[in-house]
């Protein structure tokens, strides 16, 4: 496990990514994002880590981070429809929030 501090970055990335999925399932979105980002640091080719991080960022309303994770993941797999969908949701929500703030503070 992660507590063992294994020297294999790919294995550790897989463990972080899997834990991110568990955190998402439990609704611990901030922890899921942390784990997904750690997984990406260790293995930048793990599309699942980008997907899990993007979902967590979307759920925690971290729109720019969500968009960046989607963009990076889509560079690895341009056909990842779910990442495109998450990215569009983040852009839509970010723009809507900006419009609300503009009306409020105009």
Q: Domains of the chain, with CATH numbers? A: 2-105 (1.25.40.10)
Q: How far is CA 36 from CA 13, 97, 104, in A?
A: 8, 25, 35
pLDDT band, residue 53 (cuts 50/70/90): very high
5 pLDDT more than 80: no
The first and second tokens of residue 105, run together, are 């503070």
101 pLDDT more than 90: no
pLDDT band, residue 62 (cuts 50/70/90): very high
Please list, in sequence order, all residues whose beta carbon lies within 8 angstroms of the beta carbon of residue 49, skipping any fewer than 6 positions away.
13, 16, 17, 20, 36, 39, 40, 43
pLDDT of residue 42: 97
pLDDT of residue 7: 85
Write down the pTM of the prediction. Answer: 0.90
């Amino acid at each position: 496990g992660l507590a063992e501090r294994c020297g294999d970055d790919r294995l550790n990335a897989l463990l972080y990514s899997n834990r991110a999925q568990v955190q998402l399932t439990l609704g611990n979105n901030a922890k899921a994002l942390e784990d997904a980002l750690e997984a990406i640091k260790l293995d930048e080719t793990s599309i699942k880590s980008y997907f899990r991080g993007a979902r967590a960022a979307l759920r925690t309303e971290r729109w720019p981070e969500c968009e960046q994770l989607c963009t990076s993941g889509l560079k690895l797999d341009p056909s990842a429809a779910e990442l495109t969908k998450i990215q569009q949701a983040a852009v839509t929500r970010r723009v809507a929030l900006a419009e609300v703030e503009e009306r409020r503070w105009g």
